[in-house]
Amino acid sequence: MALAAPWDPVPPGPPADVDYIVDSEAPEDPPRRFRTLQAAIDRALRDGAGMRADGRRVIRVHPGFYEGPVFLPAEGPPMALFGAGREAVTLAARIDAQMPGREFEQRFGAGFATAHPAIRAQFARIAARERVTTGNSAVLRIERDDTIVAGMTIRNDYACDRAGAAPLGAEPDVAGRYAEGQHQAVACHVAGADRVQLSALRLESFQDTLYLQAPSQGIGRSVVSDCAIEGDVDFIFGGATAYFEQCEIRSRGLRGAKSWAVAPSTNLWMPHGFVFERCHFTHDGAEAGRDATSFLGRQWFEGVRATPYSAPNEAGYVSNFGDVNRFEAPQGRISRRCLEAVGKCTVQNSALGTHISTDTPWDDWSAGAWSPRYRPVQATAGDFLSHLGGWLQDNGLDYSDLEARDFWLRIVTCTTGIT
């Protein structure tokens, strides 16, 4: 049975006509002209489906700087946001995963006071949290299927300078940035949506720049074309299926963090995770992360608390299969959803810079000293079965339907050593 109906995306082009115009320099003139992107989206939600065959509403964004966050909810018609170009249009905000909800409310609340009810509810939900978390730190959050976003820069301005997010005793650099810690700050978050197109964008942050989240059921597919995406730690991540074409994937060494470009958490039964075609993996030229010291990626062990992999260094450690992920030393449980978040990635017909190690392009999850979140690289389904064969049997789990030769991580027909 097919996971979803076939999708043949048409490359987005400049719209012949538009429903709404966003211009930060012009006077607001509803119901057509607005000064903020969120105001135009709110109006589209209130107006409902447009006259096009698919009901799509089209928003044109004129050159200028626009403040986020911006929410594009699942409710309402499909939308297309066309900017005047990534050099001309910037959507930005400073939001990190460890930001207290009350700080989020104080900083951005005024901009959502008169928003559409669905938007206000989304904002209130985040503001009520003790910490906003990674999944709520995005400058642009996309929940609606069939969304198109093109021709702009989306930047999370968080500078990895929250002391409370750094390890105890860590020292910042001269710019106040910490190289280690929990500094997730998403620029663009495709939050479970399907058939999303991102085109001619620049996406900027440090950790977790582009979040491609899988839906709770079904499949979430995105096409990312002609984009420049930059960051350092796991900066393209998630469980959705995504096809990247002619993109620049730029690792940043600016704050001295260890770098992994991708961190897929694709479900074991999904045929594809991230696929990169004719892309360039580059480096910003900073001292850190150069000369084969960066990784192409690692497989995100999403939600793990108690790994079933490898020999522990904690006496009495046990991890068993269960309904939830939890760890109360020395015993823990791992859910099926977490166990099956194996992560799949293919890089083909692309160019890999000298910053990426050709000997070990893929890294373990939670590498180094063993931890309850550790998982080794699993390039094939056979690696999964080899590592966990006895544990799977002990926990009554049957994965005999897996084809051991199926590749989960692949680099195919790529050039290396590109500067």
- pLDDT of 245 > 70? The answer is yes
Phi, psi of 388 (to 5 degrees): -115, 10
Question: Which of 127, 33, 119, 35 has its CA nearest to residue 75?
Answer: 119
The model carries a pTM of 0.97
- Residues 271-290 have a mean pLDDT of 97
Span 345-372, pLDDT tens digits:
999 999 999 999 999 999 999 877 778 9
* Predicted pLDDT of residue 171: 96
- Residues 15-19 have a mean pLDDT of 88
- Residues 327-348 have a mean pLDDT of 96
* Predicted pLDDT of residue 419: 72
Q: Residues, the chain, total?
A: 419
- Residues 114-140 have a mean pLDDT of 97
Span 150-161, pLDDT tens digits:
999 999 999 999
- Residues 211-230 have a mean pLDDT of 97
Mean pLDDT, the chain, whole residue set:
95
- Residues 377-382 have a mean pLDDT of 98
CB 156 within 8 A of CB 211: no
CA-based diameter of the chain, in Å?
68
Q: State the virtual CA torsion across 380, 384, 387, 393 in degrees, nearest 10.
A: -150
Span 64-107, pLDDT tens digits:
999 999 999 999 999 999 999 999 999 999 999 999 999 999 99
| Whole-angstrom distance, CA of residue 163 vs CA of residue 177 | 9
CB 364 within 8 A of CB 388: no
* Predicted pLDDT of residue 118: 94
- Residues 175-196 have a mean pLDDT of 97
Using pLDDT thresholds of 50, 70 and 90, give the confidence band for residue 2. low
Residue percentage of the chain with pLDDT more than 70: 99
CB 225 within 8 A of CB 288: no
DSSP, res 242: E
- pLDDT of 197 > 80? The answer is yes
- pLDDT of 314 > 90? The answer is no
- pLDDT of 1 > 70? The answer is no
Bridge partners of 295, per DSSP, are: 260
| Whole-angstrom distance, CA of residue 43 vs CA of residue 25 | 19
Span 250-259, pLDDT tens digits:
999 999 999 9
| Whole-angstrom distance, CA of residue 15 vs CA of residue 413 | 36
- pLDDT of 34 > 60? The answer is yes
